[in-house]
C-alpha cells in the first residue's frame, strides 16, 4: 500500500507511548528511533512509559503492547501501522525486524498519512547474502555464534544485555538453526538466555563444566528438539589446559552427537570451540596451536567412540584462514566449509562493537563486518555430508547484538 502522497497528520501535541519499563527493549528502541526521526521533520515528542495509572490521550503514538493497544501484536516479523477508533496512532510488531520496516515506511511517507492503515511482512526487507535464506527439505542448519554475553554498563560494547538478547533470539527465530554452538556464553547468559532459548524449543546439551576464572564463560551447544535428538550420553566438555594457553580459563570446547529426526535418522556430531585470545607478551599463535592439539585429541576420542559419524566443527578461533592453527585443523582432515564444492558462500570478516547511549536509549553506531578476510569465526566439516550454504548473518540485529556475526552452514547427511 503506497501512502507517501497522502496528506500527513499534524503531530503537534502528540506523545509517544511504550509499555512500562520498555525503554531498553526492541519496542523501546523503535520508539526512541521514531522520536529521533520526527525531530528531523519538525516535531519534538516525549516518550511516555505507560503504567496502570497513565492517562494516554488521543494524541498518542502507541509503540508495542501497551494497555491501550487495540489487538495482539502481529506474529513473526509482520507489522502494522494504523489509526485506531480513538484517534491514536499505533505501531505494532513482534520483532525488531517488523519495527525496522515500520520505521522505514514512516520515513518514506515523511510522517503518518491521515488514513494510515499499513500492514506487511518485514521478511523481504533484509539485506545480505543470508537474508531470506530458507533451509531446503531434509537439510540441517548448524550455527556458530560468539554472542558476547557480558553486560555492558557504559554502552561501548553493545549496550543492555537484555536488549541484545532480544535481538539475538529474533535471529534464531528468523534463521531457524537446528543446532547452535555458542562462545562467550557467560554467567548472565546462563541466568537468563537459557530459559529464553528453552521457550523457543531449544535444549542445552548437558555437560559438566570445569571451574572457570571468568564466572562461567563457556561454549555450550543448544539443539532444536523438534528436528534433532541428542544421542544418550554422547556429549562432553573440555577446558583447554597448559601454561599460558587459556585466557582466565575461558577457552574450551563442547561436543555432542545428534540424530536427525524423521525418516533420515542419521547421526552427526557438533563441536563448538573458542581458542586463545591475543595477550601481550605471549606467542598467541603457538598457544592457539596448543589448543588445537587438545581439540584434535578430543575429536579423535569422539571418532573412536562414534566411528563414521560426520563432524561439524565451529567456533571463534581468534585467527584467520591464513594462520598456523587454521592449517593444523585442515591438516587433520577437516575441510573449511568455504572450500566445499558447489556452495553458496560469502566473505564477511571481523567487526567491532555497536555503541549505545543510555541517555537517548538508542544505538549510536552499528559497525558492519568487513566483506573481505573471512574473519576469525569458522566452520569446518569432516565425513559424509554435503554443504549447500555457508553464510554470515549480517542484518542489523546481528550487527548490534555482538562484536561477532553468526555463521551458519546448511548440510545434508549422506
DSSP letters, 183-225, are: ESB-HHIIIIIHHHHHHTTEEE---PPPP-SSSS-B--EEEET
Grid cell for residue 46 = 516525549
> All 3 cell numbers of residue 7?
496528506
* 122 backbone dihedrals φ, ψ, rounded to 5°: -75, -10
- Cβ atoms within 10 Å, residue 301: 13
Write the DSSP assignment of 364-392 as a string of letters.
EE-PPPPSSS--SEEEEEESSEEEEEEEE
Report the distance separating Cα 352 and Cα 50, nearest Å: 35
Ordered domains of the chain (ranges, CATH): 15-125 (3.30.379.10), 140-413 (3.60.10.10)
Mention every residue, 6+ apart, whose C-beta is less than 8 A from residue 213. 248, 249, 250
Name the 3-class secondary structure at 159: coil
* Residue 100: how many other CB atoms lie within 10 Å: 22
Residues 6+ apart with CB under 8 A from 242: 287, 290, 294
In angstroms, how far is the first alpha carbon of the chain from the final one?
46
252 touches 274 (CB < 8 A): yes
User: What is the CB-side half-sphere exposure of residue 351 using CA atoms within 13 A?
Assistant: 31
In sequence order, what are the residues at sequence separation of 6 or more whose Cβ sits closer than 8 angstroms to the Cβ of residue 377?
A: 144, 146, 314, 315, 316, 317, 404, 405, 407
Strand partners, 120: 79
Residue 136 DSSP label: P
Q: Per DSSP, what are the bridge partners of residue 218?
A: 185
User: How does pLDDT run along the chain (414 residues), one tens digit per residue?
Assistant: 445 568 999 999 999 999 999 999 999 999 999 999 999 999 999 999 987 667 788 999 999 999 888 888 999 889 999 999 999 999 999 999 999 999 999 999 999 999 999 999 987 667 677 776 878 888 999 999 999 999 999 999 999 999 999 999 999 999 999 999 999 999 999 999 999 999 999 999 999 887 665 557 899 999 999 999 999 999 999 999 988 888 888 999 999 999 999 877 999 999 999 999 987 778 899 999 999 999 999 999 999 999 999 999 999 999 999 999 999 999 999 999 999 999 999 999 999 999 999 999 999 999 999 998 899 999 999 999 999 999 999 999 999 999 999 999 999 999
Beta-bridged to residue 48, according to DSSP, are 17
Report pTM. 0.95
Buried b (16+ CB within 10 A) or exposed e, 359-383: eebbbeeeeebeeeebbbbbbbbbb
Cα separation, 95 vs 25, whole angstroms: 10
Amino acid at each position: 500500500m503506497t501512502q507517501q502522497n497522502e496528506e500527513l497528520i499534524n503531530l503537534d501535541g502528540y506523545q509517544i507511548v511504550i509499555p512500562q519499563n520498555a525503554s531498553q527493549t526492541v519496542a523501546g528502541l523503535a520508539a526512541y528511533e521514531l522520536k529521533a526521526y520526527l525531530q528531523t521533520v519538525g516535531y519534538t515528542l516525549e516518550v511516555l512509559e505507560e503504567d496502570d495509572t497513565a492517562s494516554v490521550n488521543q494524541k498518542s503514538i502507541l509503540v508495542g503492547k501497551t494497555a491501550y493497544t487495540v489487538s495482539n501484536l502481529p506474529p513473526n516479523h509482520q507489522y502494522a501501522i494504523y489509526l485506531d477508533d480513538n484517534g491514536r496512532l499505533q505501531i505494532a510488531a513482534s520483532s525488531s525486524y517488523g519495527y525496522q520496516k515500520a520505521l522505514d515506511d514512516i520515513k518514506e511517507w515523511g510522517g503518518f498519512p491521515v488514513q494510515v492503515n499499513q500492514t506487511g511482512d518485514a521478511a523481504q526487507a533484509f539485506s545480505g547474502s543470508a537474508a531470506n535464506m530458507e533451509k531446503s527439505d531434509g537439510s540441517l542448519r548448524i550455527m556458530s555464534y560468539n554472542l558476547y554475553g557480558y553486560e555492558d554498563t557504559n554502552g561501548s560494547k553493545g549496550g543492555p544485555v537484555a536488549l541484545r538478547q532480544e535481538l539475538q533470539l529474533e535471529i534464531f527465530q528468523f534463521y531457524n538453526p537446528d543446532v547452535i554452538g555458542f562462545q562467550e556464553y557467560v554467567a548472565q547468559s546462563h541466568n537468563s538466555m537459557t530459559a529464553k532459548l528453552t521457550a523457543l524449543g531449544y535444549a542445552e546439551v548437558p555437560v559438566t563444566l570445569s571451574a572457570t576464572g571468568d564466572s562461567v564463560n563457556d561454549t555450550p551447544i543448544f539443539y532444536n528438539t523438534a528436528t534433532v535428538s541428542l544421542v544418550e550420553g554422547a556429549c562432553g566438555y573440555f577446558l583447554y589446559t597448559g601454561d599460558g594457553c587459556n585466557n582466565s580459563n575461558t577457552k574450551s570446547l563442547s561436543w555432542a552427537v545428534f540424530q536427525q529426526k524423521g525418516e533420515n535418522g542419521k547421526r552427526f556430531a557438533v563441536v563448538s570451540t573458542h581458542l586463545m585470545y591475543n595477550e601481550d607478551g605471549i606467542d598467541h599463535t603457538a598457544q592457539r596451536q596448543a589448543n588445537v592439539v587438545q581439540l584434535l585429541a578430543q575429536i579423535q576420542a569422539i571418532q573412536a567412540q562414534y566411528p563414521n559419524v560426520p563432524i561439524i566443527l565451529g567456533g571463534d578461533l581468534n585467527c584467520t584462514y591464513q594462520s598456523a592453527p587454521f592449517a593444523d585443523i585442515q591438516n587433520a582432515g577437516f575441510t573449511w566449509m568455504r572450500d566445499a564444492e558447489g556452495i553458496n558462500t560469502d566473505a564477511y570478516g571481523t567487526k567491532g562493537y555497536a555503541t549505545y547511549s543510555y541517555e537517548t536509549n538508542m544505538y549510536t553506531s552499528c559497525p558492519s563486518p568487513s566483506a573481505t578476510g573471512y574473519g576469525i569465526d569458522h566452520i569446518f566439516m569432516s565425513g559424509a555430508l554435503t554443504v549447500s550454504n555457508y553464510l554470515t548473518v549480517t542484518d542489523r540485529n546481528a550487527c548490534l547484538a555482538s562484536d561477532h556475526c553468526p555463521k551458519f552452514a546448511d548440510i545434508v547427511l549422506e
